[in-house]
Amino acid sequence: MKKDFIFSSIDNLKGVGPQLSKYLKKKRIEKIKDVLLNLPYSETDRSKIFKLKDLEIGKIQTIKIQVKKLNFPRIRNLPNKVYCEDETGKIEIVYFNSREGYLRKLFPLNEFVIVSGKINYFNKKYQITNPDYVTSLENQEYVAKSIPKYNLTKGINEKKYRNISEQVISNLPDINDWLDEDFIKKNKLIDWNECIRKLHNSKDGKINQSKSFRRIVFDELCANFLALSENRKRIRIKKLPKIFNDKNSELIKKNLPFKLTNDQEKVLDEINQDLLSDKRMFRIIQGDVGSGKTIVSLLSILNVIKSGYQCALMSPTEILARQHYKLIKNIFKNENFNIEFLTGKTEYKIKKVILSKLTSGKIKLLIGTHALFQKKISFQKLGLVVIDEQHKFGVKQRSDLAKKGGNECDVLLMSATPIPRTMMMSLYGDMDISKITEKPAERKNINTLSKPENKINELWPFIKKQILDNNQVFWVCPLIEESSFLDYSSAKKKFEIINKKFPNKVGLIHGALKNNEKDKILKDFLQRKISILVTTTVIEVGIDFPNANLIIIENANKFGLAQLHQLRGRVGRGEKQGTCILLFKDGLSKNAIKRIKVLKNSNDGFFIAEEDLKLRGFGDLIGFQQSGIKSFRFADPVIHEDLFKLAEKYVQNIKGYISYSKYSFLLKLFDKAEIINTSEP
Ligand code: ADP
Ligand code: MG
């Protein structure tokens, strides 16, 4: 059997016809390797042969019985029955939808057979309806044992799937392990060939710390990290270093109304080093909401423009892009270079002029939304792309983007989603990371309170006072998983209630609105035409509403801590003290109370992200899923933290491009081969 077997289609297996193949594909089992990665979650113990007097109703049991009589009623819908017994009692085997000839062959009169299935009791008699297995005594061994239990789906039963998994395991070729024996031994892992067999044929697959399970976790992580690190090497190719004089940005710095924090200075330095080096930059600034990432990116942009290149700054939304544009116009007001603004909505005539000025190199800085990366747009000499709030981009989009800029273009991303240390490599393994942990000195911590929902009435006077004081309020409605419709309707309901109390002062915004409708309402809020904005989580992204200083978050336990932290970062950005009120349904779990405490006591997004991961475990982090973190199939950053570290180190120790022949099996196994194939070095 060749190695290719593992990557061939399941259709080549015996007993897999078009129908079964269709069902398997629905379960994403298409290749033999998918069967390998579909691990049993438990097992059914059919090993013991029970006497009929010892049967337990409702259990799956195996019996050895003698066939006494078969009954095939001629009336439709009545089941066929086989009457059997052993020396201790009687039982009926009941079949719906079966043919006489088939049953007569399966149950030869007066012979002994082995039957395994769920024991029922009906009309004072034991019954098994449509048993899982019926076999002759010679084949007893096939049935009377512990049988791995897989997650199955309609159209596939244990017997059918077992035929598939056993065929796969018994035909499995031995693979040359990509891990050295020494490495395996030292780290208490296990050889791949042994691992995969054990995962299917013993309890190992069900214990997330068994040697075999840890081995497959390690493999999964390695495949992931290898792909990312390879991607990174292919992006960090040679370029011409940029030449600029730091004095440019120094002058702007001096004119700022504030002094940069040490972290901002440090990050600016890291970026400058990259710009001046002969390798393309692919860097992400990670900093909490309000940590001042924007100004750092602007100073870098200035440096790049001063060395004769063009720059582009991209934001996820129009309104954020516009905010950046205004700010930048102001900061660069003494510079005499051309700055333009482009979104999907820019008028055709204006757009045409912008495009031609980009090609001729007249425009030095282009600010906008995704529209910046349309095919038609070409720069004369693009030196730096900055992308704000990048967490909406996946790995593939990032690498596409890096290609688009051309070889001379450096790439800088900014994210306000703090990521726990363990997850860093799996998310950003293709990038260099700069962190801003320090907050601007005069930034006040947001006052965070919690309140049970049934005391909501106590809030109205407080809100009324805020409005009289000319403050603005966000009201965030529960995030309801997987249903944008429910999400929308609960916000709408709340809007109606609040609007009655404060007529003409309330706006509503939710994910079902079109972008331009959203932008209009946000603009109204920004211009203080409304005082209260009822919203779903669409307000997360980094817009500055300097006048908003109260945020009320309903059903707060539905959100991840990281997300709550992001949300409350929307307020208290101006001079006034910000307040965040978390509303809860009654009867919070101990864990939920702990989580609120973390939020109340800390304003450090990185710390909060770590705590959230610890308190909730990975499986259930809504906030993380929303910020684009995919979960692994086997690996869990809480349970397998040590393996995350080990895999990271392992991959970092591989110098130069990876050996495709050595790792191709691993990469193909976890569907990562494509990344390597498509991005030629
Ligand atoms: P974010 O990191 O969330 O994108 P911004 O760059 O929007 O943060 O900065 C938030 C606010 O803090 C802005 O109004 C900005 O002018 C201000 N700011 C940035 N750096 C400093 C600093 N070192 N000291 C004081 N204020 C600062
Ligand atoms: Mg920002």
**pLDDT tens, residue by residue, 309-343:** 999 999 888 888 888 999 999 999 888 899 999 98
Which residue, 372, 406, 436, sits at the end of a domain?
A: 436
Residue 156: inside a domain: no
Residue 369 to residue 345: CA distance in whole angstroms: 10
Q: Could you tell me the CA-to-CA distances from 82 to 91, 105, 516, 681 in Å, in that order? A: 8, 12, 70, 68
Residue 292 and residue 423 in contact, taking contact as beta carbons nearer than 8 Å = no
87 DSSP 8-state letter = T
Q: Which residue of 253, 294, 576 sits with most ligand 1 atoms within 8 Å of its CB, as the best mutation to test the pocket?
A: 294
| Best CA proximity match to 425, nearest among 645, 110, 639 | 645
Same-domain check for residues 458 and 430: no
pLDDT in tens, 454-486: 888 999 999 999 999 889 999 998 754 445 555
CATH code (residue 117):
2.40.50.140
List ligand 1's pocket residues with C-beta within 6 A.
Answer: 258, 260-261, 264, 287, 289-295, 416, 440, 542, 544
Would you state the pLDDT for residue 487? 54
Kindly give the number of the ligand 1 atom that is closest to the alpha carbon of 569. 3
Is residue 623 pLDDT above 50, yes or no?
Answer: no
Residue 205 to residue 212: CA distance in whole angstroms: 7
Higher pLDDT, 397 or 516: 516
Residue 437 to residue 434: CA distance in whole angstroms: 10
Residue 633: inside a domain: no
Specify the residue with its C-alpha closest to ligand 1, atom 23: 260
Same-domain check for residues 219 and 322: no
Same-domain check for residues 325 and 205: no
Q: Which amino acid is at 123?
A: N
**d(CA 572, ligand 1 centre) in Å:** 12
Same-domain check for residues 71 and 22: no
Which residue, 410, 436, 462, sits at the end of a domain?
A: 436
Q: Could you tell me the CA-to-CA distances from 303 to 245, 271, 298, 405 in Å, in that order? A: 7, 10, 9, 18
**d(CA 260, ligand 1 centre) in Å:** 9
Same-domain check for residues 558 and 417: no
Instruction: Show the DSSP H helices in 390-483 as ranges.
Output: 395-404, 421-428, 459-468
Residue 673 to residue 677: CA distance in whole angstroms: 6
Specify the residue with its C-alpha closest to ligand 1, atom 14: 573
Specify the residue with its C-alpha closest to ligand 1, atom 10: 290
Q: Which domain holds residue 495?
A: 447-602+604-626
Same-domain check for residues 300 and 380: yes
CATH code (residue 564):
3.40.50.300
Same-domain check for residues 255 and 194: no
Kindly give the number of the ligand 1 atom that is closest to the alpha carbon of 260. 23
Range 357-368 average pLDDT: 94
β-sheet with 338-342: strand ranges across: 338-342, 363-368, 310-314, 382-387, 410-415, 282-287, 432-436
Residue 153: inside a domain: no
Range 412-437 average pLDDT: 86
Residue 149: inside a domain: no
Specify the residue with its C-alpha closest to ligand 1, atom 16: 292
Residue 154: inside a domain: no
Residue 666 to residue 651: CA distance in whole angstroms: 13
Would you state the pLDDT for residue 576? 80
Residue 639: inside a domain: no
Same-domain check for residues 421 and 524: no
Same-domain check for residues 341 and 473: no
Would you state the pLDDT for residue 622? 43
Kindly give the number of the ligand 1 atom that is closest to the alpha carbon of 295. 6
- In 258-331, which ranges are E strands? 282-287, 310-314
Based on the structure, what is the number of domains in the chain? 5
pLDDT in tens, 624-658: 444 445 568 899 888 899 999 999 999 999 887 88
Would you state the pLDDT for residue 391? 59
Would you state the pLDDT for residue 577? 85
Would you state the pLDDT for residue 271? 96
Same-domain check for residues 345 and 276: yes
pTM, entire model: 0.81
For residue 410 the two structure tokens come to 């450096």
Residue 638: inside a domain: no
Residue 554: inside a domain: yes
Same-domain check for residues 361 and 281: yes
Higher pLDDT, 379 or 624: 379
Same-domain check for residues 205 and 278: no
**d(CA 294, ligand 1 centre) in Å:** 7
- In 20-166, which ranges are E strands? 42-45, 49-50, 60-71, 80-86, 89-95, 112-122, 125-129, 133-136, 146-149
Range 47-71 average pLDDT: 96
Q: Which residue of 258, 391, 576 sits with most ligand 1 atoms within 8 Å of its CB, as the best mutation to test the pocket?
A: 258
Segment holding 145, helix H or strand E: none
Judged by its nearest atom, the ligand closest to the C-alpha of residue 290 is 1
Which residue, 436, 462, 482, sits at the end of a domain?
A: 436
pLDDT in tens, 557-602: 777 788 888 888 888 877 788 999 998 877 777 877 888 889 999 8
